[in-house]
Amino acid sequence: MEFDFSGKVAIVTGAGGGLGRSHALALAARGARVVVNDPGTSVSGASDDAGPAAQVGAEIERLGGEALVDRCDVTDAEGVQNMVATAVDTWGRVDILINNAGILRDRTFAKMDLADFRRVVDVHLWGAVHCTKAVWPHMVAQGYGRILMTSSASGIYGNFGQSNYGAAKAALVGLTNVLAIEGERKGIRVNALAPTAATRMTDGLLDEAAVARLGPEAISPGAVFLVSEQAPNGVILGAGAGVFAVSRMQEARPVFLPEEDRTAETIAARWDEISDLSVAHTLSSAFEQTNLYVELADRVSAVVQP
């Protein structure tokens, strides 16, 4: 099986370099027409350079592909709507959205300025929300869509000095989970990529050997799969150095505490049992968890009734 994106239209944000550039080139190489979005900002989101997006667009065209260059800031909802409208006016549809745009403003939480916290959340989370909101009605109307959020191990597991970045990336997992449920019956599949790559964001943080293994090109095959017709739905895929692994949230076997014994002290006493993940399970929605808990409470209560 070979993935062919001929006739498909993709929007890739933050595509002027690093992962976004790699994703855009990979999709174009397989026939997709690509909107290359990047305002040309620095890693911190401070500068403004028209060059990166234009260069990637030109690179796609030199390789025989089709590209549109867009420089809107994804935090600008109106600008995002205009970007999507231009893609639809030019090519008639939008099939794929890769929410990749992001910035870093690292500092320990105690020392972090709230404006820096807010700006990182605005770009990563609100940027993804703006772009997804803009493409959603088009995907619903055509009965097909593939959306990829870019999360991070910092959001899944945490990382020192990245409370703003980690919070935004964790929020994107929650957004993925909900939209995967809402989009499924409409032909829209939503997944998340959690990459670890050597990009501008990691300059000076990795040794040369690690950098050699952690190129963006080692991650883009995962992105290509997650926006293909054969993509799964609601998956978090870790990727880096040519290694791929699904991450997921798991829950231990639920433990029911009868009302007369429902205390913090009992929870502490039975903590090993409550936190035992050796018999873990996954849940497909919040209501599945609610139903599971109620059913367990009903079942146990019925057994202990005189």
- Which residues are tagged catalytic? 165
Secondary structure letter of residue 104 according to DSSP: -
Q: For the CA atoms of 102, 107, 108, 114, what is the dihedral angle to 10 degrees?
A: -70
Question: Residue 222 in contact with residue 237, Cβ under 8 Å?
Answer: yes
List of residues 6+ apart from 109 with CB closer than 8 A: 163
Rounded Cα gap, residues 116 and 247, in angstroms: 28
134: helix, strand or coil? helix
Question: Residue 112 in contact with residue 164, Cβ under 8 Å?
Answer: yes
Tell me whether strands 243-247 and 236-240 are parallel, antiparallel or unpaired.
Answer: antiparallel
3-state SS of 196-224 is: CCCCHHHCCCCCHHHHHHCCHHHCHHHHH
- Helix (H), strand (E) at residue 133: helix 127-142
List of residues 6+ apart from 204 with CB closer than 8 A: none
Q: HSE (CB half, 13 Å, CA atoms) of 5?
A: 29
